[in-house]
Structure 1
Amino acid sequence: MSFPDFAKVIAALPSDDAEWGPRNTAPEGVPAILNNAPYAPYSKGDKLGRMADWTTDSSKDGRDGQRGGRQAYNRNFRDQQVYGAGASSLFSLQHAEDEATFSVVDNQRTSTKTRGGFGRGGGTVFRGGRGGRGGQVTARGGRGGAQGGRGGRGGRDDRYGGGRGGRGGRRFGWRDFDKPQRLRDASVNIKPDWKLLEEIDFSRLSKLNLETDEGEDVESYGSLYYYDKQYDKITPKGPEKRLQISERAYYNPTTSEDPVIQQLAERDEATIFATDQILSMLMCAPRSVNPWDILILRQGNKVFLDKREGAGFEFVSVNENAIDPPMDPTDGNKESINAPQALSLEATFINLNFAHQVVSESEERKFSFENENPFYNPSEETEPLASKGYKYRRFDLSVSEEEPVHIIVRTEVDAVIKSPVGKGDQFMTIKALNEFDDKAQGAGGAPNWRDKLVSQKGAVIATEMKNNSCKLARWATQAILAKADLMKIGFVSRANPKDAGKHVILGVSGYKPREFANQMNLNLANGWGIVRTIVDMCRNMSDGKYVLVKDPNKTVLRLYEVPFNTFDEDLEAREPVAEEDEE
């Protein structure tokens, strides 16, 4: 084409802004050879990094849908796109048949030599093997052995049947998007006549702060036995120590039903009343995952924090804060004994019996408080009384001297022990952690206690702090509220992972409550700030009944105003059953 002909082509280009690029049909006076000539479409937003390069296809065989070459997207060349590169396939030979639609059916497993796979640099192990290096077929690396053997340096991954490893651990989060979303049910049914007053996100609760004193004792009731120091010598390698089932009378009434709190309220000893079980849940609310609710009664200038039957925190939770917590049978868990409700009942059973077993029940060596147990009636009860002391303690939540605000909390201690330096008796709380099956779903990557409790005790405790952050924070809070000198935490495991009825004690550890709280990064001032904020909301409202509900699937607290007769029908529904039993 001569230069004048080319000039005619340029002059024939449309000037209308609605069109872009040359026409498919040559204009008048232009050689017919240009009819239907293909051209590369492009956008006005294309970056002209360099001139068009038609010599390199975007795919290695001319087919669409495959990335390749310098024109393919690459973060190193994202600012240097080639003009017209996206349309280079228009000039490539199109195959008559698309071979990409065909696949070869082959049931035999083939080896892979590529680097990558599960874990950090580890590869998929298809059959047998010892993780990264051994086995029949592996990839390079050994930090994330998947299916097969003992996983080398990589940790066990339950989802792919891997074995146990010496380092690393399960890489949580892999293919979590493919799991069904777990929806928990609320601890209480929200009724239409309930009025929503406040909705508080956990991020706001975490910013609250209120410094208080250590509190003072107002009343003390009950009696305590001395702790048996022989349990401190138990190890997994020593003789097996079975957890015994003991029948003891144990009382934990709610706040408004406590006769001592009723007397203290009549004497105007404080304006807020609660139990350590209820208060610890409120103070550790930002760590909670499971649903719960607290019933709040406002009567005059008094505020009572009550618990409701089935409120969600009466039983001990298990692996509540684990990345992959235990699942219900409806969510895919095939073992009902490892369901959340079954594990919670098992943990509560273990805690009650463990606290009774590790004390020496001797009437001669017994510590008694000023008053007897206010809930126990020897003439009516047939079971002996458990070792339990109730200390009613008062804390100052005042922000200014013009408006004093005090709270009385019923705290509990479980035993006493002689001080090694001769400072008299020391009070302690006794709790127990339980191991159900380290290979089951919901174990949270915990190591086997029988193997690691002696050699890697710190790792065992750190894993429990991660998987049970809310539970352990509540235990530490309760011990600090009671001004206990020690916390004894037992390690109790199933005698057989498939039997939830028989357990053995593998060891006992002792901690100072405040040091234990510091290890967990637990801030008591933040907890008191949460309590004061919730109480102020209710004090600014009229007399009535309110319910504080933790959303089952979100990190949100909601405060509802409910009719005063709410939940009364539950008590009335149980009365006829009780009368029939008596007959």
Structure 2
Amino acid sequence: MAHFQLPQGSVDSGAWGPPGTGAATVIPEEFQQIPFAPFSKSERIGRIADWNTGGANNDERSVAGTVQGRSTRNARGSAPAWGAQTSAPANTFAYFHAEDEASFSVVDNAKSGTLRRPTASGALRGGRGGAAAQGRTSPFVRGAPAPAGPSGRPSRGGRTPVMANVQRGARRQGGYRDWERTQRKAREASITVGPEWEQLSELDFSRLQKLRLEVDEPEAIASYGTLYAYDRAYDRVSVRFERPLQPRDRAHYSATTSEDPVIQEIAEDAESKSKVFITDSILALLMCAPRSVYPWDIVITKSEDGKLFFDKRPNGPFDFVTVNENANEPPVELNDPVNGPNPETNTRARINTPGALSLEATFVNENFGFQVCDEKKTHSFKNPNPFHQAAADDGQLASCGYRYRRFNLSTDEADPVEVVVRTELNAFVPGATPKSKPAQYITIRTLNEFDPRAAGAGGAPDWRLRLDQSRGAVVATEMKNNSFKLARFAVQSILAGADNMKLGYISRANTLDPYRHVILGTSWFKPKELAAQMAYSLANGWGIVRTVIDMVRDVAPGRYILVKDPNRPVLRFFKVPFDFDQQEEEEEDTTEDADAQDMADGDE
């Protein structure tokens, strides 16, 4: 059985401490070189024991421990010298104050799986990986011979396989090489907050994501408009058999809630219990708000009788489609430092800004819906298009059907909350015979590729190389980079009661030409299945809507605005003057007049 016998000191010694070397020495030889370490309360306490000293085995254990994300720190927070050995035994218990007192922490904050490359100075002084202090060459120091691999030959890149794997893992971690990344400028708000605006409340996205409300199937109120049949020939489009996107001039109306004559008629009905009125685009944005990144705003009007109207501002964010909003590196503005000192001369930078890409995506989305419809086959609802006037010269109507539906968000029968929503359908799939009813009602949306090599591409693969062979990988990347946009598409289709959603893949004919596009393929999606693939909860969306409605019901009649903070996941609720939109227009006109005057003065 192993045991340890304490050494006995000599009683004949004239002073305290171990006797000197010689015949009278009773201390074993392995303990004779231990130096005497004086102690005083006024001095810093040094390291009592270092279990990592001595030999290559301890150094290997230090590397293994670092690979597993472990580190050892002494009581004062300074890192021990891994594998440190010196020729002077007097330095064995010496204390080295290598870090500042503010860095003291009893919690290990080291990132798991990260192994930093030691510097030359660290290797020489016996720091982490300091093999040079032990009389051997470190394989992690530049210029050192590579260690032998399993086959006896040097490893690739002068690193061991474990080290290479660890470094590859470090590159995949968030925050890698952050000091080399350009600091993005703060985004501007979608609307300027006036000095007379009063902030009433604030909603954080983390709280909104926890809300839940189950809603039953809606009640149909009325249907308006005319739909065209979907051309099934576009199901055979592929990368090899691409088709050019042909712009068509069609009249498509997307009036705001307060300007809808059907909603005004429903709101004036004395027998109606509905108190909330909204369109599907605004409602879908609210239901998907926690996924949004770019700023937006919603104007809310509360009448004297308690009716709520959710409106959009003219030419606001609702009229445009975003691109790669949720990407880790979204598209950058033209004046971003990443575009260099003269971005105006950079064609790729000018056409790939967020605003330019949004206009391009909106143009593509509209024209693809017009092109894939067969205008010879039509299906008309009971009522005509409520926004089209036959006397007006608006051109040919686009395929569009409006469904007005009532959703019951009540949680108490004594306090009913009914929401009237105007939804849109884009086309129908014909039945087996020409006289049969439509087999399906569908919505039509698009995803567009601009330039896989440009800043803000989000790591998307080249569609011409991967779309036909690996469409699932392309869709998965788009779900990551455009999570908010695709969730809105799915929710709008669910609200309209569409049976399917047709998704088109559009790409530029030339990466430097944003005006010519080609259709590379199409896909069918069930709206609810698409939402499930994106981990979107419809109950959470209804919970958000009910929370916003309750917040507006508690305030006095007037006009309010709900603003998404441009740089934080927060919604701000303001009370604004009733004519704030007119003030915005007057400020814009004043700015334009000032610019015109400046140009005139310059010409003189």
TM-score range for the pair, normalised by the shorter chain length? 0.7 to 0.9
Q: Describe the shift of the 1:460–1:544 C-alpha distance in structure 2 as closer, same or farther (beyond 3 A).
A: same
Q: Deviation per CA, 1:259-314: give whole Å up to 9, x if none.
A: 11111110153100011111111110010111111111111210011111353332
Secondary structure in 1 aligned to 2:351? helix
2:299–2:313 CA contact under 8 A, matched in 1: yes
Distance 1:254 1:194 in 2: 23
What is the identity, as a one-letter code, of the residue corresponding to 2:470?
Q
Residue 271 of structure 1: which of 272, 275, 284 is its match? 275
2:468 corresponds in structure 1 to 454
2:553 maps to what in 1? 539
Q: Which amino acid aligns with 1:232?
A: D
Taking a change above 3 Å as real, the CA distance of residues 139 and 438 of structure 1, as seen in their structure-2 partners, is: farther
Give CA-to-partner distance per residue, 1:243-264, whole Å, 9 cap, x none.
Answer: 0011111111111111111111
Residues 193-272 of structure 1 mapped to structure 2, 5 A cutoff: 193-238=196-241, 240-268=242-270, 269=272, 270-272=274-276
Instruction: Please give the alpha-carbon distance, in whole angstroms, between the structure 1 residues aligned to 2:583 and 2:412.
Output: 41
Q: Distance in 2 between matches of 1:297 and 1:258?
A: 15
CA contact (8 A) 2:246 2:371 kept: yes
Q: 2:425 aligns with which of 400, 413, 433?
A: 413
Paired position in structure 2 for 1:291: 295
Counterpart residue number, 1:490: 504
Partner residue in 2 for 1:474 = 488
Match of 1:48 in 2: 48
Question: Cα distance, 1:175 vs. partner?
Answer: 1.5
Equivalent residue for 2:134? Answer: none
Give the C-alpha shift of residue 113 in structure 1.
7.2
Question: In the alignment, which of 188, 191, 197 is matched to residue 188 of structure 1?
Answer: 191
- 1:377 pairs with 2:392: no
Correspondence for 1:442:
456
TM (normalized to structure 1)? 0.73
* 1:313 counterpart = 2:318: yes
Q: Output the CA distance in 1 between the equivalents of 2:164 and 2:384.
A: 59
Alignment of 1:515-554 (within 5 A): 515-554=529-568
Tell me which residue corresponds to 2:138: none
Q: Relative to 1, partners in 2 of residues 1:292 and 1:473: Cα closer, same or farther, differing over 3 Å?
A: same
Counterpart Cα distance in 2 of 1:176 and 1:75:
23
Equivalent positions of 1:56-71 (< 5 A) are none
Q: CA deviation at 1:85?
A: 4.9
Gapped regions of structure 2 (runs ≥ 5): 1-11, 18-36, 56-61, 64-69, 82-89, 98-119, 122-141, 148-154, 340-348, 593-604
What is the aligned residue count? 476
Match of 1:11 in 2: none
State the Cα deviation string for residues 82-124 of structure 1 (Å, max 9, x = none).
Answer: 997574789xxxxxxxx97xxxxxxxxx988769xxxxxxxxx
Deviation, structure 1 residue 383: 1.8
| Structure-2 separation of matches of 1:325 and 1:531 | 28
Does the 8 A contact of 1:301 with 1:539 survive in 2?
yes
Residue 351 of structure 2 corresponds to residue 337 of structure 1: yes
The Cα shift of 1:179 comes to 2.3
Please state if 1:282 is matched with 2:296: no
Asked if structure 2 preserves the Cα contact closer than 8 Å seen for 1:243 and 1:502, the reply is yes
Do 2:327 and 2:481's aligned partners in 1 also have CA atoms closer than 8 Å? yes
Q: Is the 8 A contact 2:401 2:424 kept in 1?
A: yes
- What residue is the counterpart of 2:127 in the other structure? none
- On the 8 A contact 2:46/2:95 being kept in 1, the answer is no
The answer to which structure has the higher helix fraction is: 2
| Matches of 1:277 and 1:359, distance apart in 2 | 22
Give the Cα–Cα distance (whole angstroms) in 2 for the partners of residues 401 and 221 of structure 1. Answer: 31
Does the CA-based 8 Å contact 1:272-1:303 persist in structure 2? yes
Contact residue 294 and residue 311 of structure 1 kept, 8 A: no
Aligned to 1:389: 401
Q: CA deviation at 1:564?
A: 1.5
Matched with 1:302 is: 307
The one-letter code matched in structure 1 to 2:388 is: Y
Amino acid at match of 2:182: P
Q: Find 1:346's aligned residue among 357, 360, 366.
A: 360
- Give the CA RMSD over aligned residues: 3.9
- How far apart are residue 44 of structure 1 and its match? 4.8
- Letter of the structure 1 residue corresponding to residue 500 of structure 2: L
Asked if structure 1 preserves the Cα contact closer than 8 Å seen for 2:47 and 2:95, the reply is no
Retained in 1: the 8 A contact 2:182–2:337? Answer: no
Bigger RCO (CA 8 Å, 6+ sep): 2
**Structure 1 unaligned residues grouped into runs of 5+:** 8-37, 57-66, 69-73, 91-98, 101-109, 116-131, 146-153, 156-168, 578-583
Aligned mates of 2:519, 2:144 — CA distance in 1 = 46
Query: In 2, distance between residues paired with 1:377 and 1:144?
Result: 69
Q: SS state of the match for residue 183, structure 2?
A: coil
**SS at 2:235's partner residue?**
helix
> Does the CA contact (< 8 Å) of 1:187 and 1:292 recur in 2?
yes
- Once residues 222 and 465 of structure 1 are traced to their aligned partners in structure 2, the CA distance between those partners, rounded to angstroms, is 32
Preserved contact between residue 293 and residue 566 of structure 2 (Cα < 8 Å): yes
Paired residue type of 1:478: Q
Q: Which residue of 1 aligns with 2:343?
A: none
Asked whether the 8 Å contact 1:217–1:394 carries over to 2, the reply is yes
C-alpha separation between the residues in 2 aligned to 1:330 and 1:486? 41
Q: Whole-Å Cα distance in 2 between the matches of residues 175 and 81 of structure 1?
A: 26
- Contact 1:40-1:87 within 8 A present in 2 as well: no
The equivalent residue for 1:403 is: 415
Which residue in the other structure is 1:559 paired with?
573
